[in-house]
Amino acid sequence: MKRIILNFILLNIFVLSVYSQTVNPPIPIEIYLGNNRTLFHMGVKRNIYKKINFSNSTSATVDYKNTQAENEIVMNNTLAYQFHKNINIGAGIQYHYKRGFIPNISMGFVYLNPTIMILLLPSFQFLPNGDRNIETMSFIEFTPKLTEKLRLYTKAQAMYNQNIVNNKHDRSFAFFRLGLKINSISFGAACRYDYYGPNKIFKENYGGFIKFDI
């Protein structure tokens, strides 16, 4: 399995390096240090041909005791067609730390200006065990200018995943940040609330974050 994951990562690097064009959005890299565990996230989006984009989102979560059962890694890869400046349709594959590879189809809705960014990303997932899930990822990022180089940084992010075969909750979270943005660096306080499985097992995490747009 480790070899498969490594090949999966190498394939992402190959696609990004060979097919990407020169003008692309920055790559956000975020580290969140909470009181219970730490989280790393990186997102990459590249235009590879006309209206066709490739994106990768990678998240990893580890508790401070490095408990194997608490460690998580999720990688999403999507090939999308941008048929409208704010709307795309896509297909991709997710690697999930427990379930393996999960094919999916999705739509993306985004609104963007220098102060605010809004994203809504619903997807339909084909799980290996025959289950079918609907997942919706959303966030709003608000960064009004305070001075020439300083901005307020706020972000509210949520995800909800529902199993539509048994009509039960599968996974969800809410993630909030409040801080400052200086040029390409954002930092501040954050809190995250995670819910797992049909019984919505709850895990909370409070701490701080730093994000680099490179």
Residue range 22-50, pLDDT digits in tens: 567 899 999 999 999 999 999 999 998 88
Instruction: Cite the beta strand spans of 10-149 per DSSP E.
Output: 28-34, 37-49, 52-63, 72-84, 87-96, 100-112, 116-126, 132-142
| CA 207/CA 43 separation, integer angstroms | 21
Rg (CA), the chain: 17
**44-86 tens-digit pLDDT:** 999 988 899 999 999 999 999 888 888 999 999 999 999 999 9
Bridge-based pairing state of the strands 116-126 and 100-112? antiparallel
| Residue % of the chain over a pLDDT of 90 | 81
- 55 near 80, Cβ under 8 Å? yes
Over the range 76-110, which residues count as b (16 or more CB within 10 Å of their CB) and which as e?
bbbebebeeeeebebebebbbeeeeebebebebee
Closest C-alpha among 49, 127, 123 to residue 91: 123
| pLDDT of 182 above 50 | yes
Question: Going by C-beta distance under 8 Å and a sequence separation of 6 or more, which residues neighbour residue 185?
Answer: 210, 211, 212, 213
Residue spans per domain, the chain: 2-213
| CA 15/CA 11 separation, integer angstroms | 6
**117-134 tens-digit pLDDT:** 999 999 999 998 889 999
- Residue 25: its pLDDT value, please? 84
What does CATH list as the number for 2-213? 2.40.160.40
- Residue 2: its pLDDT value, please? 47
148: helix, coil or strand? coil
**Is 103 or 7 the better-scoring residue by pLDDT?**
103
| CA 1/CA 73 separation, integer angstroms | 13
pTM greater than 0.75 (yes/no): yes
Q: How many CA atoms lie within 13 A of 32 on its CB side?
A: 26
